[in-house]
Chain A
C-alpha cells in the first residue's frame, strides 16, 4: 500500500470548470507538498502546507491533519492548467518525500 494516495488518477474538464484533486496519506507528516509536472517537463512546487489553507492565484490548497487529507482546487480552469499534479508528504521520520502517483488533468477549451 502506498503511503500517499491520490484521486482521481485522470481528470478531464471543460475550460472554466472548478477542479478538485484529493490526496490521502497514512503516515505522520511535517508538511505536504503539491507539485505540478507538464508533459515531458520538470517539476514545479505549487504549495507546501502544514496546516489550514493556502491560495495562489486560481489555485487553493487545503489540509486536514486529523483526517490526513489534502485537496488541491483550481478555479476557472484553463487549458494551460493541463498537467500532472502530484501530492508529496514529508514524513515526521526519515529523510525523504513520499509521492502519490499523480493526477493527470486535461482541460479542454
Chain B
C-alpha cells in the first residue's frame, strides 16, 4: 500500500483556516475514496471519486468540505474554515475498480485544529 501517497502526514491549522489534504493514488488506479477517522471512532466514508467526477459524496458534511480528483494530479480534500471538531485522521484509498476489487490505503493525514 506504499503506493498510495498522502500528504502532509500531519497538519495543524488554527480555527477558521483552510486545510488541504492530498492523495496520490497507486499508479493505474482511477478510483479514490476518502474516509475520516474521528478519535475513538471507526472509519467513516466521506466521498468516492473517479477522475474528474464525484461519484458519491453522501458522507461529506454539507458545508465547508469539498473534494476533487482532477485529470492530472492528486485528489484533494479541502476543508474550509476548520473547527476543532474537524480534528481527525483522514485516509485515502484507491482501487483499479469499484470496492469489490482490492483497495489500497494511504498512511493518512492527521489534522489537528487548534
The chain A residues found within 8 Å of chain B, CB to CB, are 2, 30-31, 33, 35, 40-45, 48, 50, 86, 88, 90, 94-102
Contacts and interface: CB of A to CB of B under 8 A. Distances in A.
A50 B90 CA distance: 27
A106 B71 CA distance: 43
Interface size class of B (residues with CB under 8 A): 20 to 34
B105 A48 contact: no
Contact of A48 (B33, B45, B58, B102): B102
A42 B108 contact: yes
A95 B58 CA distance: 10
Interface in B82-114: 91, 93, 98-100, 102-108, 110
Contacts of A44: 1, 105
Given A43-B91, A45-B102, A102 B42 contact: yes
B63 interface: no
28 contacts: A30-B99, A31-B100, A33-B102, A40-B110, A41-B107, A42-B91, A42-B105, A42-B108, A43-B1, A43-B93, A43-B105, A43-B106, A43-B107, A44-B1, A45-B103, A45-B105, A50-B100, A86-B43, A90-B100, A95-B33, A95-B55, A95-B56, A95-B98, A97-B43, A97-B93, A99-B42, A100-B42, A101-B41
